[in-house]
Amino acid sequence: MQAIILAAGMGRRLAELTRNNTKCMIEVNGVKLIDRVLTQLSALPLKRVVLVIGYEGNKLREYVGTQYKGLPVEYIENPIYDKTNNIYSLSLACNQLQEDDTLLIESDLIFEDSLFRMILESPDPNVALVDKYESWMDGTMVRLDDENNIVNFIPKKAFKYSDTDFYYKTVNIYKFSKGFSSNHYVPFLKAYTRALGNNEYYEQVLRVITLLESCDFKALPLNGQKWYEIDDVQDLKIAETLFASTDDKLRKYQQCYGGYWRFPSLLDFCYLVNPFFPPQRMVEEMRANFDTLLREYPSGMGVNSLLGAKYCGIKQEQVCVGNGAAELIKSLMARIQGQIGVIYPTFEEYPNRREKESIVAFVPSNKDFRYTADELIAFFDGKQIEALLLINPDNPSGNFISKERVLSLAEWCTNQSIRLVVDESFVDFSDNYAQNTLLENDLLERYPTMVVMKSISKSYGVPGLRLGIMASADKELIDATKKDVAIWNINSFAEFYMQIFGKYEGDYLKACEKFIAERNRFYTALQQVKFLRVIPSQANYFLCEVTGKYTASELTRILLEKANILIKDCSSKCAFSGKQYVRIAIRNQQDNDKLATALITLSL
């Protein structure tokens, strides 16, 4: 058996990275793509590797030489690489294709070693490795029958998003028998290029062949094995994350701060959202209006503050809508001039916007990080603070102060001329949630210096829309914040979501009830993990102390490596004093069970 690698292309989309070198000389985590694939091939029983070169081909020839770790390397040159596509590069290797069984590989791939073993061990002589379609995939798709016969190749122009449930992507690793190449592929390849020219793709020939009744060509679907095709700089960044060492992979994921939809197999227990909202019907309504929303400008702050007020059931002049709560937090923290009281551990978006010297920190003295309104009053009484921050329920501890007691704290703050900032982004996950919000006209007016912040992303399961609400009867503060943000600070999709939410408010209340039930069930499941002490929570996450066997960072790395699950390592957060804590988001039952099973397995 032999291998043929197509490596003639220019890789224009990689810009500077391929200005003076061919694509397969790009490094992923310090290793060139060509080194990686040749190392993998050198471990196989191959007679030779044939490299089809073109753009900067001499550099590749010089780098690789005539053998690689004992494996003979030969070259075929495509002199018109800039005027042709890969069908021509492969046509130049027609003679070699007919001399032996062949592994055909494209040079811009990175993949696990196991893929070569899979295709070689397949009893079928002519095989295409394929993978179930995911949103990152581009290029040729195929459809399979129940016996993994390829019934159709789907070129880009015939691709339909409505059919993606049935699509598989070709990995661009093939196995051809000598007989298949001689009797089918090469004759059809020659006829195809004579009829349609050289500016095509070699998969088009396979598409024609699969239409024959006598075609002996199978698909071999992957089952979770890693691979990636590198066409541009973002592909390279993703590939570096997927194929990093465990420690480095964790760091790279954390540096993304989201965007995990680019890694569909990753199960994210780090970021916090409502797993049961929005309902499918609401999603369908937004999808039905996609074209209009994409092509139209959103409204300005005047309309969106009206929608925000309607959304929360309060007055328009009391509301500022933000591009996520983070935009509003930034503006608010810049306006607080003096010292601010902060309860640790906390959601650090707030204190990170301040100089450390301006923070007066309160740290609960118990191992569950529980505290009451009375304890806060006792601690901050006499402290020279201009504002007091309360995350309620708290993040990451899940501590919750009842509405009645928060109002007693608001009363004390008013009497002390202290601005109370209450972030109630998680309040809808608390027991008796419908009565716990402070977003009420009379409460805001009773405590005019109180500010209520709410992240729509976390409570309502729409983090991609980037929506947040800041409410206060302090008209001067609200007006100043509106001037801080851009007039079009939210997009049309977020605006439309606020517009239609009222129709789905009943669904939201049901989702909250469903969530509380799942939280209780998941809490019981997590208590079976011997090395975790699970702290009760009124939010959509659990703070857990890692009490033995692992450190928090070790547990985070092991879950990522063994189960592709990402949790939040909190051990470096302020107030934990080196103790081992992780935060685990609460997702739907199926996902929660996967995590619980993985943790229980690790405890055995």
pLDDT digits (tens, 9 = 90+) for 384-426: 999 999 999 999 999 999 999 999 999 999 999 999 999 999 9
- Indicate whether 540 pLDDT > 80: yes
What pLDDT shows up at residue 132? Answer: 95
Q: How confident is the model at residue 28 (pLDDT cuts 50, 70, 90)?
A: very high
444 contacts: CB under 8 Å, gap ≥ 6:
314, 318, 438, 450, 452, 471, 472, 473
> What average pLDDT does the chain have?
94
| Six-digit token string for 410 | 């608001």
Beta-bridge partners for 582: 544, 569
What pLDDT shows up at residue 278? Answer: 97
What pLDDT shows up at residue 210? Answer: 84
| Six-digit token string for 554 | 């070790």
What pLDDT shows up at residue 574? Answer: 83
Q: How confident is the model at residue 153 (pLDDT cuts 50, 70, 90)?
A: confident
**Measured distance between the N- and C-terminal CA atoms of the chain, rounded to whole angstroms:** 45
Among 175-179, 436-440, 518-522, 571-575, the range scoring the smallest mean pLDDT is: 571-575
Q: How confident is the model at residue 352 (pLDDT cuts 50, 70, 90)?
A: very high
Query: Which comes out higher in pLDDT, residue 397 or 576?
Result: 397
Give tens-digit pLDDT for 45-103.
999 999 999 999 999 999 999 999 999 999 999 999 999 999 999 999 999 999 999 99
What pLDDT shows up at residue 262? Answer: 87
- Beta strands at 467-471 and 451-455: parallel, antiparallel or unpaired: antiparallel
| Six-digit token string for 247 | 């420690």
Q: For the beta carbon of residue 122, count every other beta carbon within 10 angstroms.
A: 14
How many residues are listed for the chain in this entry?
604
What pLDDT shows up at residue 142? Answer: 93
Give tens-digit pLDDT for 191-215.
999 988 898 889 889 988 888 767 7
- How far is the CA of 278 from the CAs of 216, 303, 312, 506, in angstroms? 47, 23, 17, 11
Q: For the beta carbon of residue 123, count every other beta carbon within 10 angstroms.
A: 6
What pLDDT shows up at residue 436? Answer: 97
Owner of token pair 């059809």: 188
**CA proximity to 447, closest of 398, 390, 498:** 390
Measure the CA–CA gap between 364 and 397, rounded to whole angstroms. 11
Average pLDDT over every residue of 262-281 = 94
Q: List the alpha helices (DSSP H) in 527-588.
A: 552-563
Q: How confident is the model at residue 246 (pLDDT cuts 50, 70, 90)?
A: confident
Domains identified in the chain and CATH numbers: 2-238 (3.90.550.10), 265-274+510-603 (3.90.1150.10), 280-506 (3.40.640.10)
What pLDDT shows up at residue 212? Answer: 79
- Indicate whether 272 pLDDT > 80: yes
**CA proximity to 424, closest of 449, 443, 403, 405:** 403
40 contacts: CB under 8 Å, gap ≥ 6:
113, 116
| Six-digit token string for 321 | 């809508």
Give tens-digit pLDDT for 31-42.
999 999 999 999
Percent of the chain with pLDDT over 70: 100
- Indicate whether 366 pLDDT > 80: yes
Give tens-digit pLDDT for 444-472.
999 999 999 999 988 999 999 999 999 99
Beta-bridge partners for 569: 582
